[in-house]
A and B are shown apart, each in its own frame.
Chain A
Amino acid sequence: MGLAKRIIPCLDVDNGRVVKGVNFVDIRDAGDPVEVAKRYNQQGADEITFLDITATHEGRDTTIHTVENIASEVFIPLTVGGGIRSVEDIRTMLNAGADKVGINSAAINNPDLIKIAAERFGSQCIVVAIDAKQVSTEGQPLRWEIFTHGGRNPTGIDAVEWAKKMVTNGAGEILLTSMDRDGTKNGFDLALTRAISDAVSVPVIASGGVGNLDHLVDGVLKGGADAVLAASIFHFAEYSVPEAKRYMAERGIEVRL
């Protein structure tokens, strides 16, 4: 027995409200991130990831309060991503009670941000979020590139090389999202997950495409992921976290039950 593979529900939060709906039958306010985070904690989620999609500057203050409220009532690790652009943003989120911050486009615009942040706050709290899309065509060796703006803008950066570079710069964890699979419910891009997981020494969280519990199992057993992230299958109560864990345990995956 040893380290458990982690299950991480992800909340999209806009102006202090959970969007994309959450469907817990007996929850008082399914739009309240604190209520939702508490519920996932009770269910045995191993961490919570909170993706801030608030666009306005004023909304960012709401986000900070939301993080503070979650951190004072929910005692499992909390990662906050979305809109983190500077050392100051990182400090603000950590001081509000986030345990880790997810950094995406800012790392592309300024790769040194990861280096500075890791030195300042420690690698353990720096998660680099990578949105990747397959660019190779059939018959070619598999290749993925980093895309920004929800998968619309190519950067020309090779995803595997980028992951290695980010770890060298001090990333403590990689949150890997397949933009080909995100929202499809067809499962993770397992070849991508495996390629990144084998290339780096730090833990990799697989994300994008979970539609059923076999997808979670495959992410770990075939993709080599250390953690699996999912949103809709949990939010819409298609499956509960304990159900997912039992299912994974029955297939030989070590989980926290």
Chain B
Amino acid sequence: MSKHTVAVIDYGMGNLHSVASALEYVGKNVDVIVTADAEKILAADRVVFPGVGAIRDCMAEILRLGVDQVVAEVAATKPMLAICVGMQALMTRSEENHGVDCLGVFPGEVKFFGNPLVDNSGQKLKVPHMGWNQLHQTKAHPLWEGIQQDSRFYFVHSYYVHADDPSLIAATAGYGVDIHAALHRDNIFAVQCHPEKSSDMGLKLLSNFLKWSGQG
């Protein structure tokens, strides 16, 4: 029997080494491939859609390589985990780089944190939102299994997701504004934080993803 395959979509934006090696670390019997090849992605059992850097460059590469078509097909068929800018790319539109149209898999916007950004007590907050913040789970989901409510995950981003449909929200995080830090619909799960950099809790999330049927 062939190994279970996870494709990490590589559209040339930044280093995917850490996502791939974290998946290899938790999935002893999993074959991790880092690729932009549509055939290989569509043949995989599950797909990770990462992203790093500026959204304009990411979207340009996604369109140039035809990754938009692949993502649309994956989104309709198999378990997919989008991470950070990968999550942002799934939204309708981003305010970054003077406004960029995204893939529109999830209705909603990616907004700038704003400058100045302040917390409840009027204290100035730094942007990017960088470091370990609490992920507040807002619905039960197989990917949260074994992860305590309000566990801390590593974030680094200057723009945040706001989903139009509250039923999509799987977790929130607070940083001056209410960040929709995880979204879920059917077989698609998306997180703003970096599970591959979030130590034990992050590895747990990735290991849950590798077991996830893509339902519930």
Contact surface of A with B, Cβ cutoff 8 Å: 1-6, 41, 46, 68, 71-73, 75-77, 94-97, 99, 119, 121-125, 172-173, 201-204, 226-227, 256
Q: Given the complex of chains A and B, what is the CA–CA distance between A67 and B177 in angstroms?
A: 35
- A75-B22, A97-B18 known; A173-B130 Cβ under 8 A: yes
Binds A, one of B1-9, B70-78, B183-191, B192-200: B192-200
Binds A, one of B35-43, B101-109, B121-129, B162-170: B121-129
Judge whether B52 and A122 touch: CB under 8 Å: yes
Number of interface residues of B (CB under 8 A): 38
- A73-B25, A202-B128, A203-B126 known; A122-B197 Cβ under 8 A: no
Judge whether B14 and A75 touch: CB under 8 Å: no
- B142 proximal to A (CB < 8 A): no
Closest CB of chain A to B33's CB: distance in Å?
16
Judge whether B128 and A99 touch: CB under 8 Å: no
Q: Which residue of A lies closest to B26 (CB)?
A: A75
Closest CB of chain B to A92's CB: distance in Å?
11
Q: Which of A2, A95, A173 contacts B15 (CB 8 A)?
A: A95
Q: Which residue of A lies closest to B126 (CB)?
A: A203
Q: Which of A68, A72, A121, A172 contacts B130 (CB 8 A)?
A: A172
Judge whether A2 and B133 touch: CB under 8 Å: yes
- B150 proximal to A (CB < 8 A): yes
Judge whether A4 and B127 touch: CB under 8 Å: no
Would you give the 0/1 interface string for B195-216, flagging 1 where the beta carbon is closer than 8 Å to chain A? Answer: 0111100110000000000000
If over half of A's interface residues share one DSSP class (helix, strand or loop), that class is named, otherwise mixed; here it is loop
Q: Given the complex of chains A and B, what is the CA–CA distance between A123 and B158 in angstroms?
A: 10
Q: Given the complex of chains A and B, what is the CA–CA distance between A140 and B119 in angstroms?
A: 35
Residues of A within 8 A of B119 (CB): 2
Number of A-B contacts (CB under 8 A): 97
Q: Which residue of B lies closest to A45 (CB)?
A: B199
Q: Given the complex of chains A and B, what is the CA–CA distance between A203 and B131 in angstroms?
A: 9
Judge whether A122 and B14 touch: CB under 8 Å: yes
Q: Which residue of A lies closest to B156 (CB)?
A: A124
Query: Can you add 9 more A-B contacts, CB < 8 Å, to A3-B155, A124-B157?
Result: A2-B134, A2-B175, A4-B152, A77-B154, A124-B52, A172-B128, A172-B130, A202-B126, A226-B131
- A77-B197, A124-B128, A124-B157 known; A71-B14 Cβ under 8 A: no
Judge whether B14 and A99 touch: CB under 8 Å: no
Judge whether B202 and A256 touch: CB under 8 Å: no
Judge whether A75 and B53 touch: CB under 8 Å: no
Closest CB of chain B to A128's CB: distance in Å?
14
Q: Given the complex of chains A and B, what is the CA–CA distance between A75 and B196 in angstroms?
A: 6
Q: Which residue of B lies closest to A95 (CB)?
A: B15
Residues of B within 8 A of A77 (CB): 154, 156, 197
Judge whether A256 and B18 touch: CB under 8 Å: no
Judge whether A71 and B174 touch: CB under 8 Å: no
Judge whether A1 and B54 touch: CB under 8 Å: no
Judge whether B128 and A3 touch: CB under 8 Å: no
- A124-B52, A201-B126 known; A6-B131 Cβ under 8 A: yes
- B21 proximal to A (CB < 8 A): yes
A-B contact pairs, 19 of them (CB 8 A): A2-B134, A3-B129, A68-B17, A71-B17, A75-B196, A75-B199, A75-B203, A77-B197, A94-B14, A97-B15, A99-B18, A121-B53, A124-B128, A124-B130, A172-B128, A201-B126, A202-B127, A204-B126, A226-B130
Q: Which residue of B lies closest to A91 (CB)?
A: B15
Judge whether A76 and B154 touch: CB under 8 Å: yes
Judge whether B197 and A46 touch: CB under 8 Å: no
Residues of B within 8 A of A1 (CB): 134, 150, 174
Q: Given the complex of chains A and B, what is the CA–CA distance between A60 and B13 in angstroms?
A: 25
Closest CB of chain B to A4's CB: distance in Å?
5
Q: Given the complex of chains A and B, what is the CA–CA distance between A95 and B133 in angstroms?
A: 26
Closest CB of chain B to A232's CB: distance in Å?
24
